[in-house]
Structure 1
């Protein structure tokens, strides 16, 4: 059973990827130690905030493996000492190729990590270079081989609709990744986000994004190939072998509670979603003074909560069960969202199977349009 989760944000990276809009910074090695001390203090200070059994911990970034591995051990040790984790808790760390070595893998294993997520993105060196990745394909192959000696639950991230990516490029990436038989594959379409280097290049007409039809063709090809290869398509962008769905990501889509530690990390407790200060040095100073660094609080109305429950849950291929909605809100989603549901069923975008409402294949293609109809 999935319950609450913990997210740890490591805001450092070797070099910022051109498409990345996450709260991450390069060339801040001089802040590693003070950051480690601060996040450990935050973890300890907030231990009474959400009393529950935690079924997952996710260490993301940035690039967590730029830190000395002993820092990851200390952070996890602090979590274990202050929070109640289930015996089978999923403990994930994101890793970037080119910065993985045996010492780090042994350290993560010793610290209780049982799932790793490796960001490959593409099987072509020219595309990796074009999006600002620091690794090569050979780096990834070497690192994956090393990681598979220590971990049997490995996710690989890949991207499609990259600038100048051909359909054959994407097919080669998928085929080679499937051949490695990772337990989980995340397959994302590129989104050009304002404030990223890639978006600036787009504004200067230096790169051209894939058109919607071409991107959709890639998505359909990927979904079919992955499903035919034994991977269950359980969320719009995620595929897993039986028994290896990502527990931590599912808690977000199930609209469950979580605590977020680190600069820019968000938490969701009760009806409040709140985020920490993003600036790393300011975060460190405020934590050292106060023990917490909340900078942004959003109190969700009942309508907001019901909307989020629907559009997050509909991202999963299993859809939303009305019994779960009733248990949370005391009323049926089929009455609260009667008009939105009827409209999208008439359009062939949603289908009702007993108490469950889910996207159709056509609905998945334009899911954001469907989700908008569930906003009040």
Structure 2
């Protein structure tokens, strides 16, 4: 099974923390849609007949597209790729785009999963992040979505400067009150070249507090696990049967095509990425050229990527997979370097799988990087 990710590089306005590729100018939307369709057509043989099980519209803000425009892209996929009978088709959407009429329209389309960028249910947080929606829309859009969709996820952000633990707990409780099947939650990070970084550097805004973020992550973990959610990946919580098939395929190293400017593709050994420029992307496709660069990952790089993604998940890192895919030397290296985290209680060994403990979850990216193979040439 494989997946297709489509990057929609448009937003109504720029969130202060975002470093994804997007434009707030929609005047190139029509040629962009043509270029996306063209890329899908040009790359139809790359999956080698492998069935497409997930289609994911990300961005940017995919919900700025009209429903008919989304449907046309999905139709292009069905015309050029073999798809499973019921693929998971996710649309990332912002609350301000999800009016009652719009949700009803989407429910009649092939879209069967909504991922809603709520981020916070409080006005002060949304203004600080420069979100396009307000607190009332954050609440009302969920009610509208629930009336038409079963498979719904919302995003929440913790570690926001000025967001005390009490308000974060209220955010969690509000999210839980809707009894949604999936929640994704991320620590606010300060990325270079963002407005947030500039505000912090100028003293206009307080810096992110790592201790606050860690504390609020564990508040989230406790509250959601108590309500039956499984933390199947560090930033994702799903009820049984509602894990994101799209994201799970990424973490398990399955093949996916990334369509659109800045989108990445991966087949297990080769990674490709499109140019992060809307004008160049469109011009290349108009000339029938793919605006993509590629690199072949060494065995060492493949091992490092597996460790990074595996430790973030509930499935962990498999000793059998390391031995079979990378060789006994890699397994011995992993065991030697992972032992100290087993001794400290940050990792645990379940049969032959190394999994992050509750204590180790918030620190898992640093733990994974410490387990990378860095010296071996391969």
TM range (shorter): over 0.9
In the TM superposition, what is the alpha-carbon distance from 1:80 to its structure 2 partner? 1.2
Q: 1:47 aligns with which of 39, 44, 49?
A: 44
Equivalent residue in structure 2 for 1:113, among 111, 114, 133: 111
- Tell whether the 8 Å contact from 2:316 to 2:356 is kept in structure 1 after alignment: yes
CA distance in 1: counterparts of 2:209 and 2:220, whole angstroms: 17
Checking the alignment, whether the CA contact within 8 Å between 1:77 and 1:111 is kept in structure 2 is no
Partners of 1:31 and 1:339 lie apart in 2 by 53
Matched, 1:124 2:122: yes
Contact 1:272 1:299 in 2 (8 A): yes
CA RMSD for the aligned pairs? 1.6
Partner of residue 353, structure 1: 350
Following the alignment from structure 2 to structure 1, what is the Cα–Cα distance between the partners of residues 99 and 284? 34
Aligned-partner SS, 1:150: coil
Pairwise CA distance, 1:336: 4.4
> Are residues 1:321 and 2:324 paired?
no
> 1:307 is matched with which residue: 304, 307, 311?
304
Residues 98 and 141 of structure 2 are in contact (CA less than 8 Å); yes or no, is this contact kept in structure 1? Answer: yes
Query: Take 2:314 and 2:268, find their aligned partners in 1: how far apart are those partners?
Result: 26
Residue 101 of structure 1 deviates from its aligned partner by 2.6
- 1:1-376 matched pairs, under 5 angstroms: 3-26=1-24, 28-51=25-48, 52-294=50-292, 296-329=293-326, 331=328, 334-376=331-373
Q: Which runs of 5+ in 1 are unaligned?
A: none
Q: Which runs of 4+ in 1 moved over 4 A?
A: 330-333
Check the 8 A contact 1:8/1:58 in 2, yes or no: yes
Task: Tell me the TM-score normalized by structure 1.
Answer: 0.95
Deviations 1:62-109 (A, max 9, x none): 111111221101001101111112223111000001112344334433
Is residue 252–residue 309 contact of structure 2 (8 Å, CA) maintained in 1? yes
SS of the residue 1:98 aligns to: helix
For these two proteins, the number of residue pairs brought into alignment is 372
Contact 1:255 1:313 in 2 (8 A): no
CA contact under 8 A between 1:161 and 1:218: conserved in structure 2? yes
CA deviation string 1:290-348 (max 9, x = no partner)? 24210x32221011101111110110023122334445445586324232222322332
Once residues 82 and 4 of structure 1 are traced to their aligned partners in structure 2, the CA distance between those partners, rounded to angstroms, is 14
Instruction: Please list the CA deviations of residues 220-247 of structure 1 after superposition, one character each: whole Å capped at 9, or x if unmatched.
Output: 1110001101111111111111110111
Alpha-carbon distance between aligned partners in 1 of 2:335 and 2:213, rounded to the nearest angstrom:
32
Structure 2 residues not aligned, in runs of 5+: 374-378
